[in-house]
Amino acid sequence: MAWGGVIGGRWEWISVMGWWLLLLAVAGYLVPATEAACSAERVVIFNFGDSNSDTGGLSAGLGYIFPLPEGRIFFNRSTGRVCDGRLILDLLCESLNTSYLSPYLESLGSDFRNGANFAISGSATQPRNQPFSLFIQVLQFFRFKSKSLELVAQGSKNLVNEEGFKNAIYMIDIGQNDLSAAFGSNASFDIAIAKIPSIIAEIKNAIKMLHDTGSRNFWIHNTGPLGCLPQKLALPRKNDTNLDPYGCLSALNIGAMEFNSQLSNLCDELRSEYTDATIVYTDIYSIKYDLIANSTEYGFESPVMACCGYGGPPYNYNANITCGNSNCQVCSENLKYISWDGVHYSDAANTIVASKILSTEYSNPKLKFDYFYRNHSLCLTIVFFLLLLNFLC
């Protein structure tokens, strides 16, 4: 044995034994301490929003089933997502090596250790007292939080604790349905634009309610180019002079940009008011608009045509025969479309959008999505070595 040559006499042997005992004691003390520190660093995300980030909430809440071809590229089964695969939120979870968020309303098979998803397809900020508005989603979160803390106090290990709620990322991606309603009615452009401040006020209220109860890390997505959605483009219009160079409806995009500008201002305002909070604003609009404008460079087919819909070119969208209808027409699986169903982006498009979000280039401030969990892998490495040490001793 290699040690044999080194440990010559009795005193050296005792000294080595002493070191082992010391290490054992240190490891025995540090493992629980580090584990506690690590559990506080566990990734926890709470998400609020609409179908852009609904991982099955509407399905769970109202019993809706989104059958294949929904999910066909990635899950190959109905998950309640309105997409052929993963949403931006799913890809962001993948980047943190955490599992996809369970919908708050999903009673079977849910795992709430890494947070919960309150987003529900079709949600808007207004009317605020109607399920499942942003306000209602925040109330659901409050109930989830108090119930979790109650159970943690009783010894539950599979729920987020006080520290976890404090360190969690609070994501909000909402407004598209509010804008869609505002601009979809017969109202004039000016009247629709005038509705934006009240949408922003609801988002402000949601952030305030969360901040007042201890949430500190906010990750806010702005809204995409509404006027590039095949659903909007397929509506009858008198002439095409209102299309931009990429074939999107200018008025709707101006509306989306106005919303985004006010949302960005709100984030600036809250950042100076809540000096104890981190508020990241991410420009999804620019990412998606670039994807559409430069679609061929990203390898996509017809940027404003839905893969799954009805009617064929130029938009393959018909409000009466949408994706999932037995008569719908679906593009071949090996074709890359930006729009999955005329309203929602495809797995392929979301993959690019998520990678751009992760680049920090579109965020203000330019923080990485793993900013709040930087030390997580380091902490796991330390635990691993301490456990190894413990085992050897």
Ligand X SMILES: *[C@@H]1O[C@H](CO)[C@@H](O)[C@H](O)[C@H]1NC(C)=O
Residues 93-132 that bind ligand X (CB under 6 A): 96-97
User: Which of residues 76 and 198 has its CB atom nearest to ligand X in the complex?
Assistant: 76
Question: By C-alpha distance, which of 269, 277, 131 is closest to 213?
Answer: 277
Residue 370 annotated in active site: no
Q: Whole-number minimum distance, CB 325 to ligand X, in Å?
A: 12
List alpha helices for 156-221, DSSP H.
Answer: 162-167, 176-184, 189-193, 196-212
Residue 51 annotated in active site: yes
- Give, for 145, the enclosing helix (H) or strand (E): helix 134-153
Which contacts qualify for 387-391: CB closer than 8 Å, 24 or more apart?
Answer: 387/31, 389/23, 389/27, 390/24, 390/27, 390/28, 390/31
Residue 221 annotated in active site: no
Interface residue with ligand X among 154, 188, 320, 327 (CB under 6 A) is 320
Whether 246 and 292 have beta carbons less than 8 Å apart is answered as yes
**End-to-end Cα spacing for the chain:** 17
CA distance 197 to 384: 51
Residues 176-205 that bind ligand X (CB under 6 A): 186
User: Which of residues 57 and 311 has its CB atom nearest to ligand X in the complex?
Assistant: 311
Whether 62 and 184 have beta carbons less than 8 Å apart is answered as no
Q: Whole-number minimum distance, CB 273 to ligand X, in Å?
A: 30
Among the listed ranges 78-86, 108-116, 237-245, 270-278, the one in contact with ligand X (CB under 6 A) is 237-245
Residue 325 interacts with ligand X (CB under 6 A): yes or no: no
What binding mask, one character per residue, do residues 41-80 give for ligand X by CB under 6 A, x or -? Answer: -----------------------------------x----
Residue 381 interacts with ligand X (CB under 6 A): yes or no: no
CA distance 54 to 276: 29
Among the listed ranges 121-129, 133-141, 234-242, 252-260, the one in contact with ligand X (CB under 6 A) is 234-242
Whether 323 and 306 have beta carbons less than 8 Å apart is answered as yes
Interface residue with ligand X among 129, 188, 241, 327 (CB under 6 A) is 241
Residues within the interface to ligand X (CB under 6 A): 76, 96-97, 186, 238-239, 241-242, 289-290, 293-294, 318-320, 370, 373, 376-377
Active-site annotation, residues: 51, 341, 344
